[in-house]
């Protein structure tokens, strides 16, 4: 069987604090995610393979792949018979979502894997448990498991609140040929841009209550706290910072709103 693994964009991304978990420091965020229906990877599943395997053009070792990580984290949640079934699963991945672009491709792949094997192999896990598993794989995975098109996201990404789906809009994704490291961007942000006074100001601005129209009226720097450290690391991306163009997540991809006619024409060209 074949399943679609969709991309997402961040309408905004604001850092609102830090936390320590198992002696590891994490940034706490507030963001709004929107699923991108026109951009997705394709995952093909074979449940009669000799062993668990991944096939695809990946830019990392198998052990670092989010699907493999999801497979490993999933095992303690299922029975011995279900583990046997999982061990005969092959996943063939066709990538369309740019790696390092801030569009959540790896997280989406992990979520898609968890949802499909849960359904097709009758693992019997509810959505809350799948989201718990997903959170151990990556911060964006719970959003994709939620199946929401538009949601406010908090904490490290595990707190998901539906947002008015009727306020979604068509976008064009802009994909520079640049791979950005999330870890490097956050590391530089923590070192040179993190400010307690800025955090207090951000919390007072009530970003989660802002309408999409308000967000679209801002500039890219106001909407995404990671844009400045990103440009420090990749100055070649500065030319994309134009009016009405916004950064998604911590990667190199930008997006802009487009009307229905523009969207239809762009989507037709891509087919």
Give the number of domains in the chain: 2
Q: How far is CA 81 from CA 70, 116, 134, 261, in A?
A: 18, 17, 22, 51
Cβ contact 240:231 at 8 Å: no
Residue 143 sits in the same domain as residue 187: no
Residue 121 sits in the same domain as residue 155: yes
Q: Identify whether 140 is a catalytic site residue.
A: yes
- Positive or negative, the Cα torsion across 159, 30, 4, 107? negative
**Of the candidates 4, 8, 5, the residue with the CA atom closest to the CA atom of residue 33:** 8
Cβ atoms within 10 Å, residue 121: 17
Looking at residue 60, what is its pLDDT?
A: 84
- Residue 106 among known ligand-binding residues: yes
- Residue 101 among known ligand-binding residues: yes
- Residue 56 among known ligand-binding residues: no
- Name the domain boundary from 137, 162, 187: 162
- Name the domain boundary from 115, 145, 162: 162
Residue 132 sits in the same domain as residue 170: no
Residue 118 sits in the same domain as residue 49: yes
Residue 21 sits in the same domain as residue 132: yes
- Residue 86 among known ligand-binding residues: no
Helix (H) or strand (E) holding 221: helix 220-223
Cβ atoms within 10 Å, residue 105: 27
CATH number at residue 71: 3.30.230.10
**Of the candidates 231, 235, 258, 256, the residue with the CA atom closest to the CA atom of residue 246:** 256
- Residue 251 among known ligand-binding residues: no
- Residue 107 among known ligand-binding residues: yes
How many whole angstroms separate alpha carbon 172 and alpha carbon 66?
A: 26
Give the neighbor-by-neighbor strand order of the sheet with 245-247. Answer: 171-174, 254-257, 245-247
Q: Identify whether 18 is a catalytic site residue.
A: no
How many whole angstroms separate alpha carbon 67 and alpha carbon 95?
A: 13
Residue 19 sits in the same domain as residue 148: yes
Residue 43 sits in the same domain as residue 93: yes
- Residue 249 among known ligand-binding residues: no
CATH number at residue 173: 3.30.70
Cβ contact 255:173 at 8 Å: yes
Residue 146 sits in the same domain as residue 181: no
Computed on alpha carbons and rounded to an integer, the radius of gyration of the chain in Å comes to 19
Within 8 A by CB and 6+ apart from 173, the residues are 7, 9, 36, 38, 39, 103, 248, 253, 254, 255
Cβ atoms within 10 Å, residue 216: 14
Cβ contact 229:247 at 8 Å: no
Selecting among 41, 69, 140, 225, the annotated active-site residue is 140
Residue 13 sits in the same domain as residue 114: yes
And the tokens for 22? 């198992």
Residue 139 sits in the same domain as residue 179: no
Looking at residue 170, what is its pLDDT?
A: 94
Residue 16 sits in the same domain as residue 66: yes
pLDDT tens by residue, the chain, 271 residues: 999 999 999 999 999 998 887 777 889 999 999 999 999 999 999 999 999 999 998 888 889 999 999 999 999 999 999 999 999 999 999 999 999 999 999 999 999 999 999 999 999 999 999 999 999 999 999 999 999 999 999 999 999 999 998 899 999 999 999 999 999 999 999 999 999 999 999 999 999 999 999 999 999 999 999 999 999 999 999 999 999 999 999 999 999 998 765 666 665 655 5
Q: What is the span of the domain harbouring residue 218?
A: 166-270
Residue 113 sits in the same domain as residue 214: no
- Name the domain boundary from 144, 162, 180: 162
- Residue 104 among known ligand-binding residues: yes
Selecting among 4, 8, 50, 136, the annotated active-site residue is 8
- Residue 100 among known ligand-binding residues: yes
């Amino acid at each position: 069987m074949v399943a679609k693994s969709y991309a997402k964009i961040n309408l905004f991304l604001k850092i609102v604090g830090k936390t320590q978990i198992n002696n590891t420091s994490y940034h706490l965020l507030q963001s709004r995610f929107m699923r991108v229906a026109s951009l997705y990877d394709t995952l093909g599943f074979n449940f009669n393979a000799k062993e668990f395997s991944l096939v695809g053009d990946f830019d990392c070792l198998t052990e670092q792949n989010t699907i493999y990580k999801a497979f490993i984290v999933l095992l303690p949640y299922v029975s011995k018979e279900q583990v046997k079934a999982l061990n005969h699963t092959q996943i063939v991945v066709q990538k369309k979502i740019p790696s390092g672009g801030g569009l959540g491709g790896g997280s989406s792949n992990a979520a898609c894997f968890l949802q499909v094997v849960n359904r097709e192999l009758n693992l019997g896990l509810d959505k809350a448990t799948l989201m718990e598993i997903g959170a151990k794989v990556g911060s964006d995975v719970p959003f994709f498991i939620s199946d929401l098109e538009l949601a406010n996201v908090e904490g490290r990404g595990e707190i998901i609140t539906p947002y008015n789906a009727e306020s979604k809009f068509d976008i064009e994704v802009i994909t520079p040929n640049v791979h950005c490291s999330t870890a490097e961007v956050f590391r530089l942000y923590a070192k040179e841009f993190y400010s307690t006074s800025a955090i207090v100001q951000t919390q007072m601005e009530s970003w989660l209550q802002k309408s999409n129209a308000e967000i679209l009226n801002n500039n890219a720097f106001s909407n995404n706290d990671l844009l400045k450290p990103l440009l420090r690391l990749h100055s070649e991306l500065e030319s994309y910072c134009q009016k009405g163009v916004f950064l998604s997540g911590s990667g190199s991809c930008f997006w802009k709103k487009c009307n229905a006619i523009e969207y239809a024409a762009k989507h037709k060209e891509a087919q």
